[in-house]
């Protein structure tokens, strides 16, 4: 697997995230679920039924309703993981006791995404870390589409970041790629960066003064159903080095999923494998808006 590592000795500049809403996760459903996928469900739940064709029932007494106050002041009900059977989370690390406290801090801007990710995978592997799990995903898992199974789908969190840097500085950014809710397949992804000049100041060859490194540059997302695999979400480190000769300007660094170099290898290892190539959404799955000023 091709990977890159940062080589700059400059201290990373601070990153200001301007979006903490995940890219709308895209999922592709199809009919005719393979019989061998039913075995995965049977091993976890002790019953030979297809996870999509036969929805999981909410255990009696475990409805798990809570209430949240929306930004407009209205109170709405949401579900917790207690509404779902424990095997769904059996492959994940145990949730830390202060998880929701830390999640609240990042959502309120008291800690950065980088500080949260440094707490370890036991935090960012929890599905509650990602937007819309409680108010959307739990309901979808309890009432999945009938006669179909989720073949492919993934998203990025956050979908966008904003940063300001001086020539000669290096930025360090984290982004998380995750499998969409209900998806039962393995998905190979390679991220390729693109740079665009969003100002009228920079010269046409501005790209030579911006170096982007991604670690890991390609990775394998694992199934999120019938249980969240330990590899269902991946932390991706991004380093953006600004040359001392870089001109002032406004730039956008986009990251697009393409066919991975390990495509054949992963395809031979996993029966339900797909190359994640972006679904043709017309924009990067993750982007950094970069302002370079002296």
Assess if residue 59 is contained within a domain. yes
Q: Report the CATH number that the domain containing residue 57 is assigned in CATH.
A: 2.60.40.10
DSSP string, the chain: ---------SPEEPEE----S----EEEEESS--HHHHHHHHHHHSS---TTTSPPPPPTT---EEEEE-TTS-EEEEE-GGGS-GGGGTTSPPPPTTHHHHHHHHHTTSS-HHHHHTT-HHHHTSGGGSTTIIIIIHHHHHSPPTT-EEEEEEEEESSEEEEEE-TT-EEEEEEEEEEPTTB-SEEEEEEEEEEEE-SSSS-TTGGGGEEEEEESSEEEEPP-SSS--TTSEEEEEEEEEEPTTPPPEEEEEEEEEE--TTHHHHHHH-SSEEE---TT-SS-SEEEEEEE--
pLDDT tens-place string over residues 55-112: 333 333 333 333 333 344 443 456 899 999 899 999 999 999 999 999 999 989 899 8
- Model pTM? 0.79
165 part of a folded domain:
yes
pLDDT digits (tens, 9 = 90+) for 100-145: 999 999 989 899 888 998 999 999 999 999 988 998 899 988 888 7
Note whether residue 135 is domain-resident: yes
The answer to the question of residue 7 being in a domain is no
Give the pLDDT of residue 33: 56
Residue 269: how many other CB atoms lie within 10 Å: 11
How many domains, the chain? 1
Q: 256: Cβ–Cβ under 8 A, 6 or more apart, which residues? A: 191, 192, 193, 194, 278, 284, 285
Does residue 237 lie in a domain region?
yes
| Residue 41 domain boundaries | 12-292
> Is residue 281's pLDDT more than 90?
no
The torsion angles phi and psi of 85, rounded to 5 degrees, stand at -70, 140
229 closest CA partner among 33, 88, 50 = 88
Model confidence band, residue 22 (pLDDT cutoffs 50, 70, 90): very low
pLDDT digits (tens, 9 = 90+) for 148-206: 778 888 989 998 999 899 999 999 999 999 999 999 899 999 999 999 888 866 677 78
Q: What is the pLDDT of residue 48?
A: 46
| The pLDDT value given to residue 203 | 74
Domain-located, residue 3: no
What pLDDT was estimated at residue 204?
A: 73
In a domain, 5, yes or no: no
| Residue 4 belongs to some domain of the structure | no
């Amino acid at each position: 697997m091709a990977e890159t590592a940062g080589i700059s000795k400059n201290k990373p500049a601070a990153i200001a995230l301007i979006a903490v809403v995940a890219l709308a996760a895209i999922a592709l459903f199809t009919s005719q679920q393979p019989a061998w996928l039913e075995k995965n469900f049977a091993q976890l739940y002790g019953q030979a039924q297809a996870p999509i064709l036969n929805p999981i029932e909410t255990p009696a007494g475990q409805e798990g309703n809570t209430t949240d106050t929306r930004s407009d002041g209205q109170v709405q009900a949401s579900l917790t993981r207690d509404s779902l059977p424990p095997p769904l989370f059996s492959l994940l690390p145990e949730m830390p006791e202060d998880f929701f406290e830390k999640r609240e801090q990042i959502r309120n801007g008291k800690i950065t995404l980088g500080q949260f990710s440094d707490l370890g995978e036991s935090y960012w592997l929890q599905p509650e870390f990602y937007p819309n799990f409680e108010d959307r995903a739990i309901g979808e898992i309890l009432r999945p589409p009938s006669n179909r199974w989720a073949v492919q789908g993934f998203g990025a969190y956050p979908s966008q970041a904003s940063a300001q840097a001086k020539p000669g500085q290096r930025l360090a950014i984290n982004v998380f790629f995750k499998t969409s809710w209900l998806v039962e397949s393995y998905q190979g992804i390679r991220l390729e960066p693109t740079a665009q000049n969003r100002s009228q100041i920079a010269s046409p060859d501005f790209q030579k003064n911006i170096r982007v490194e991604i670690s890991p540059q390609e990775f394998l997302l694992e199934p999120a159903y019938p249980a969240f695999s330990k590899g269902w979400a991946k932390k991706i480190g991004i380093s953006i080095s600004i040359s001392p000769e870089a001109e002032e300007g406004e730039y956008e660094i986009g990251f697009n999923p393409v066919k991975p170099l390990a495509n054949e290898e992963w395809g031979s290892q996993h029966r339900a494998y797909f190359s994640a190539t972006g679904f043709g959404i017309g924009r990067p799955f993750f982007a950094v808006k970069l302002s370079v000023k002296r």
